[in-house]
């Protein structure tokens, strides 16, 4: 969904990314891993990564157009309150 919404390739890491990230930041803080690049290397070498390519942007483009229309209508209502 994120790939379709943004039109960008998305690379997803471990399902438990929050817990893994916490652990790795603590390890970096203790000097066991060197910085962000070291953290990324550990994740890349330890967990399967999944890549998602955008497939269908149509529904997202329609939603964006609806959103823009609502914003324009809202702006008009604020300019001339009745």
Q: Tokens standing for 4?
A: 């379709």
Largest CA distance in the chain: 64
Secondary structure letter of residue 80 according to DSSP: S
For residue 60, the number of C-alpha atoms closer than 13 Å in the C-beta half-sphere is 12
pTM: 0.58
Range of the domain at 59: 2-79
Structure confidence by residue, pLDDT tens digits, 33-75: 999 999 999 998 999 989 999 999 999 999 999 999 999 998 8
Total domains in the fold of the chain: 1
């Amino acid at each position: 969904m994120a790939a379709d919404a943004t039109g960008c390739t998305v690379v997803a890491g471990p399902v438990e990314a929050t817990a893994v990230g916490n652990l790795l930041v603590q390890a970096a803080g203790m000097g066991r891993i060197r910085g962000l690049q070291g953290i990324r290397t550990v994740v890349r070498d330890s967990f399967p990564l999944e890549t998602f390519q955008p497939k269908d942007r149509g529904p997202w483009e329609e939603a964006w157009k609806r959103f823009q229309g609502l914003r324009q209508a809202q702006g008009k209502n604020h300019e001339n309150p009745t």
